[in-house]
Amino acid sequence: MSAAAPVLSTKVDKYEQVLAKYDWRSPFPPRGYQYGIGRGAKAFITSAELSATTGVSAPLLALGGEQSAMLDALDRLEERRHKRRREDVKGGATSREGKKPKLLLSMEDIATVGSGASNQSLVKRKARTEDMDVVDGYAFDDETAVVTASDLLRGRALAANQTLENILNMGSSSEQTTWITHSRALREMGMTKKAQQTLVEGSRLTGSKGPLIWKEQLQHLNDPAAQRQLLEQAVAACKTCEELWFLLLQYQPPHEQLHWLQKAVMACPASESLWLRILGYVTAPRDQRKIIRKALEVTPTLPSLWAMLARLEDYERGKAIFNAAAAEHPSMKIIIEGAKFEEFHLRGQVGSEKEGGNEQLHNAKIHSLVRQAAQRFLLMDEEKSRTEWLDAARVAVSERYILTSAYMLLHFVCDTGAATLTIPVTWLEDLAALVPDMWRAHDVLCAAWATMLIGRDAAVKGTNEAVTEKDVQIIGFALRSAPFTSLETAVSAVTRYISSTTVSYTSRVEDGMKKEGIKEEEEEEELGRPVATIQAAPPTCSTSATAASQCLPLPLVSVLLYTLFRAPAFNTIDVMLSVAKVFYDHHFYDGAHRVLMLAITRYPVNALLFTAAAKTKMAMGCRKGAEELLLKGTAIDPSDSDIAWVKLAVHRRSNREDIVPLLDEALVHFPTSERLWLMRLEAEGMKAQQLLEDAMARGSSTAPTINGLRRVYGKALSSEHCRLSPTIWCYAAVKLESNLFSDAGAARALLLEGLVVCEKGCQHLHHNGSTKRAEVRATFGLARCHVELRHAGSETALETVKEVLQQLPKVDGCFTVSVGELVALSIDLENPATRGRAAAQAVQHWRVRDPLVFSSVAKLYHAAGRHEKALEQAMKAVQMSKGRCGDAVALWLKLASMFTYRKIVMEKMGLTVKDESNEEETALQNGVLLAWLWKQLANGSSGGTSGSEAMEDMKGSTESATHSEPPKPNSGPLWIYVSKSRDPSNVTLLGFRDSVEVMLTQVVEMIKL
């Protein structure tokens, strides 16, 4: 029996099985098949399988640890979300299958289902089959795309890295910018070491082409020794680069700079700046000549060196030097330097020629040289030529060559080919269009004034005409844009190197003032006037092109005065006061007095002019004349200001005279004057203090004195006088009741009543009423704190401060009114353990920026032993007030003078301990610290200076004080007490009788750390 043959089953293709298994018409195909096509399709999971399927290598993403962890967490979160969705789908299907319907529908019910929505299907088709997996990480269609945060981060990193990789394939290896760009791209990719290696390789290949790659490499070095070594390599590779040599000099110590300068000029002899820098180390004129001649032999086209060489000779030899230089090496700069040379020697010719001030503005030699330069080198059609010409004019005026710059500006808007100087009518509009910032630039404005006068003199040929509309227009532009700073420039140009207490007026200005009808009385005491001629500085002092600042032409002041005095449009009080203030600030007291007297003749009923004129009279040393002017100011009827009475009372009080009768007379005219009542209460308080001391010494009753003073301040607080003045209420409560009478109850009652009255008076204010009420609360709160601090102790005072600060309004966490002293007290009165928390709340939470607050923070750092931080905060307080807060300045001096701060202070000043002997220790502590502080404020920084500069500052502190006026403190509770409250007679018309240094020393002694 034969065995049955096996039944051969038909072979089923797997592809056909897949087609039969899944519903391929579904919008969601099965997992893993959305990227395959035909029989080759299969599921893939890893990037390797993906690359095998698509034929593209998978990108490698350089991700950090934190980024990778975040991506993995996002993937897990997405997987769990899809898993829950699959389980919900399967669970819903199972529940529906096992669940039997509770109610069977009848035929009528079924017939009524489609009536409401005839176009809708009764059973909606599901989006995918029950057994199909949900799409996980890939997109099949735009409508069903699933984009996760992981995909976004991966795509962004991929795009960024791909962009950086593309950058690395760009550029040329012979260009410095290519290496710099590649280095920055590598740093963006996190490869810092490779980026630095790229810069090093680029410096080796392209370092001789310029400074860019060296400066890029220098930015990523923090070690000064490494920076110095890198710059030495740079100048060795690129010897002719002037910028690299100057960078190297910045990183060299002072004693090695001359050595490197010598190397610099040998390697880069065409650099004019390097030669000028090395000439600064040479003081002997003979050695300067040798160096300049050697430099000009190598590079004969350096105009500044030709100018220095000419100024080291007399006029004739210097002129011959310029003629030879202009003939052999003609250039615009050399010819302009020749014009500057003529202006440099113009001052010596003024005295011999005895010409008027305004005629000196027209000089034929300077005009000829500037005209020659304009005809040969100024091309108005070329922008480069115009820019070079304007830059040269700006440089000339910045070096105080006013006439040269003025002629350059004239030829810029005039026809250079004409035989005579013909100025167009629209020259001002043309110049303003070509130099848009002319009215803002001080030096250019000064030259514009001279230009105006030159043009007018050329037009009228010396005739005495009135000021034209064009003159009024140019001064109008100047005064409207920058009235004070513009005037300051014109005056400082003359006063910088002239006597600080005198001014000489030209005869033309004096004649003009007489024609205006100015009649001045003879002065009993007047400062000595200078001689008529001021010779130029010796040639040996002129070691640079800026030496013309010592020999400025005479009539710059007369340019300003001659114009303003005759321009009716500017005969206003504001203009006159501005001019007088500039003169006064530059110690031209006689000039300021003349201006004010002219203003008084035109405005005889303005009391402010009389007080200003009295101040100038006092500065000139004439007390009697000052009092006469003040008496004339008080005689004005009617008057809208009590300033004359106040200044007269201050003047007599400074002479220790009884001012109570004068104040009674003044209060008749101004019964609501707060200043007059304060001075009256102050004077009565000084008398009452003396009477109380005498009564206590004799053992007699003090009640009459107390009652009398209370009647005085009660009258001041009446409704007819100063009922709504918080200052009067607080002065009566704190200074009189609390400090003088030691009556805490009466002081508290006054403050409470005053707060109610003043807040009620603020209710009718519609504009800024809330701000005014907040200021009233802050004022009375500070007064309450002083009373409680004196009578109840620091704890009660601290509670009072906290209560007041809690009541004051805030916007975004910041106070809307000034609360500096209150916040400073809230820090100082705290216990040492919680003082730091109070300081943090004031500075960080409330964001209070006040010198007193920063002073309290400095004390806190000092108590913690952090000396450098304490000194830094004290300096911030001084800079914040610009030196006007006496308490902040005194705190800085107290800290800087302590032995523990000695090393820090000397490092900031650029000194070492061995640079200073024991004999100089006292001078450093007493004088140099304050002088150095004023210099830092003038420079606008708190950084240190080099050792040589610091030694020069210490040796010439008094000399430098004449050039920049130091700040005058005028605020701070301790400063107010020392300078004003303790002895009111210390206040004079000119400031204070005692010097600022003496008063600061007294404040230093009162500060408690």
DSSP for 911-957, written as a single string: --GGGS-GGGHHHIIIIIHHHHHHHHHHHT------HHHHHHHHHTH
pLDDT of residue 518: 31
Higher pLDDT among residues 654 and 566, named by residue: 654
Q: Cβ–Cβ contacts within 10 Å for residue 139, how many?
A: 13
Specify the range with the lowest mean pLDDT, choosing from 89-93, 218-222, 331-335, 791-795: 89-93
pLDDT of residue 267: 86
3-state secondary structure 709-771: HHHHHHHHCCCCCCCCCHHHHHHHHHHHHHHHCCCHHHHHHHHHHHHHHHHHHCCCCCCCHHH
Per residue in 417-429, pLDDT tens?
666 666 776 666 6
Per residue in 916-934, pLDDT tens?
444 444 445 657 888 889 8
Flag whether pLDDT at 49 surpasses 60. Answer: no
Flag whether pLDDT at 717 surpasses 60. Answer: yes
Flag whether pLDDT at 363 surpasses 50. Answer: yes
Proportion of the chain above pLDDT 90, given as a percent: 26
Break the chain into its structural domains and give their ranges.
Answer: 13-58, 150-207, 688-848, 883-1009
Flag whether pLDDT at 815 surpasses 50. Answer: yes
Q: Is the peptide bond before 638 cis (omega within 30 degrees of 0)?
A: yes
The stretch 256-264 carries a mean pLDDT of: 85
pLDDT of residue 546: 36
C-alpha pair distances (Å), 743 with each of 690, 699, 737: 18, 19, 5
pLDDT of residue 417: 66
Per residue in 502-523, pLDDT tens?
333 333 333 333 333 333 333 2
pLDDT of residue 481: 43
d(C-alpha 431, C-alpha 429), whole Å: 5
Flag whether pLDDT at 992 surpasses 50. Answer: yes
Higher pLDDT among residues 366 and 92, named by residue: 366
In this prediction, residue 1002 has a pLDDT band, given cuts at 50, 70 and 90, of very high
Find tokens 């001014």 and name the residue: 503
Flag whether pLDDT at 912 surpasses 70. Answer: no
Flag whether pLDDT at 832 surpasses 50. Answer: yes
Specify the range with the lowest mean pLDDT, choosing from 282-296, 532-546, 606-620: 532-546
Specify the range with the lowest mean pLDDT, choosing from 9-13, 192-196, 392-396, 715-719: 9-13
Let me know: does 431 contact 389? Beta carbons within 8 Å.
no
DSSP for 755-815, written as a single string: HHHHHHHTTT--SSHHHHHHHHHHHHHHHHHHHHHHHT-HHHHHHHHHHHHHHS-EETTEE
Specify the range with the lowest mean pLDDT, choosing from 346-350, 437-441, 587-591: 346-350
Flag whether pLDDT at 2 surpasses 50. Answer: no
In this prediction, residue 873 has a pLDDT band, given cuts at 50, 70 and 90, of very high
pLDDT of residue 95: 55
Specify the range with the lowest mean pLDDT, choosing from 100-104, 451-455, 516-520: 516-520
Flag whether pLDDT at 955 surpasses 90. Answer: no
What torsion, rounded to 10 degrees, do the Cα atoms 637, 638, 644, 648 define? Answer: 40
Tell me the pTM: 0.54
Residues 6+ apart with CB under 8 A from 34: 135, 138, 140
pLDDT of residue 17: 72
pLDDT of residue 314: 85
In this prediction, residue 152 has a pLDDT band, given cuts at 50, 70 and 90, of low
Specify the range with the lowest mean pLDDT, choosing from 128-137, 512-521, 861-870, 999-1008: 512-521
pLDDT of residue 575: 72
Helix (H, G, I), strand (E, B) or coil at 26: coil
d(C-alpha 784, C-alpha 778), whole Å: 10
Flag whether pLDDT at 270 surpasses 90. Answer: no
pLDDT of residue 547: 36
Long-range contacts of 242-248 (CB under 8 A, 24+ apart): 242/268, 242/271, 242/273, 242/274, 243/211, 244/211, 244/214, 245/271, 245/274, 246/273, 246/274, 247/211, 247/215, 247/218
In this prediction, residue 219 has a pLDDT band, given cuts at 50, 70 and 90, of confident
Specify the range with the lowest mean pLDDT, choosing from 107-116, 284-293, 966-975: 107-116
Flag whether pLDDT at 724 surpasses 80. Answer: yes
pLDDT of residue 208: 87
Per residue in 53-88, pLDDT tens?
444 444 445 556 666 777 777 778 778 877 777 776
The stretch 346-359 carries a mean pLDDT of: 44
d(C-alpha 112, C-alpha 130), whole Å: 30
Flag whether pLDDT at 220 surpasses 80. Answer: yes
pLDDT of residue 221: 85
| Range with the largest mean pLDDT of 405-414, 716-725, 932-941 | 716-725
Strand-pairing partners, residue 352, are none
